[in-house]
Structure 1
Amino acid sequence: MVEAFEGNRAETATMLPTLRAFMAAHQLEDITVVADAGMISTANQKAIEEAGLSFILGAKTPTVPYVISEWLRDHPDSEVPDGLILTQPWPAGPHDKRRDQVIYYQYTADRARRTLRGIDEQVAKAERAVAGKTPVKRNRFVTLTGADKAINRTLETKARTLAGWKGYSTNLTGAGSKFVIGAYHRLFQIERSFRMSKHDLAARPIYHHKRASIEAHLTIVFAALAVSRLVEERTGWSIRRFVQTARTYRTVQIHAGGRLLTAADPVPDDLQTALDRISGPEGAH
């Protein structure tokens, strides 16, 4: 199903119609919207709730959550265990127009390592800027008060405290952290698909003026994407590897003297195995 809307239409006017159309097309009574925190505005989240639908969202953490502060306070000399999950219920009040919610906070050592490395780099740049060694550019750790420059150590401390933590908010209170976090992590595959369509499939933006042309373009792109993911699933190859390998082999047919001559480059064993997996019994429909 492909939906296209005018560029000047707000997301709140496009999201629910698309969701309802998807539910009608597949005869679904309920769906769960999974999205990153930056993709769903407060208005969209409210609209999802009012429509009676479920959601799993990346949670924004402008301050250190209570459950994280409590754990750190209770374990002052301990490293946070890799994979630790803390649960923070958020029941609806008597006058709230929403369902009960729960937020899961997960810590991973790899995420902490990457985040802390980024913080170190930003703080080092901020210190050089404050010392007058480099121009002041956009840096969240630099505080400007008139002509005075300073390092925002409070913000740095908060950022280091939250390094490695990721929040997941949902109104599926009985689903459990494993299901919620697993569903959110499937977004990585969706993001990978969009990168694939942009780079590997060269599906670049094209300016169309007629709706039929716009929908045709989107349909072709998503059909190519579906075929590409199928090729990856059955061969175990990336679509880039498959295309780059297969495109070097050609079959040529020559009509000469009433005869049809066929010349073909010999296909290596690994490529032939991949082709057999695509066209085998499971792919012959």
Structure 2
Amino acid sequence: MAAYVRTVKTASGATAVQIVHSSRRGSRDIEHIGSAHDDVELEVLKAAAHQRMAAGQDELDLGLDTAAGMTSNAKGPLPITSSRMGHLADALARGYQALGLEAATGADEVFKALVLARIIEPTSKLDALRVLQEAGIDPPAYRTVLRRLPVFAEPSWRQALAAACAKHTGLGPASLVLYDVSTLYFETDTGDGFREPGFSKERRLDPQITIGLLTDASGFPLMVNAFEANKAETTTMLPVIEAFMRAHRLPDVTVVADAGMISEANKRAIEAAGLSFILGIRIPDVPYAVQTWRRDHPDQPIPDGHIFTQP
């Protein structure tokens, strides 16, 4: 049985350090040491892997330790007792607190730990515990995570997070908000009424869901909602906007969107809800107001920012 250290790039961009035990028969046993996010962490994990491979083996006494000023009984490199991505974990925790998420969640440590793990290395709930350990954070028990998940799925929990985000951005009645949708697919063959096959921009046949994200003008997230995959994208806009207005007690909003997000049915629904909209759309002919301006101002370019209004 031969063993060697190898590095593998993960989907999140980190570098996984592994010990591969291979036999002449072709079978292999892979031992995962950890994932590094910079060169320093990579060298530490490589050193730890080599130490683990050499565990229980004596080293030749070449006299190097004595020459370096060490006692003759000292052998090998100094042991690595622990490692911690302290700066990364502390910075993320500080940002979590500054956004008001700690207060919004009642200082729930399980939710905070899952959020930090997801940012450091997007992975499964079970593997998130490994990520937390590598970051020097004491992870919760997996049974505790499963017990808390129903609480995190409550609409009131999501509303509290949305309220904290809106407070951080200083959202007001005149604020500009942006809305778009995307899809998330699941590696399963059967749907369950919510995760269903639908229109996929990636041309996948797997069951998926539609995610609607509302942000401020800078792209900071304000609210997220999930819909069935077979629900048309245009029909997701009004429910998100109405939920957003209720959550933040906004009396009126103006929807600004391109033609792809607002269908004729959407227009009627928005007007029926008492809201107004600005729609970017191609028009086949030059409007009368523009023709009149050009006639009255021959050979002049239209000033930047000029607004034409026409019933």
- Decide: shared fold, TM above 0.5: no
Structure with the largest fraction of helix:
1
Given the two structures, how large is their TM-score scaled by the length of structure 2? Answer: 0.26
Q: RCO greater where, 1 or 2, for CA within 8 Å and sep 6 or more?
A: 1
Highest Rg: 1 or 2? Answer: 2
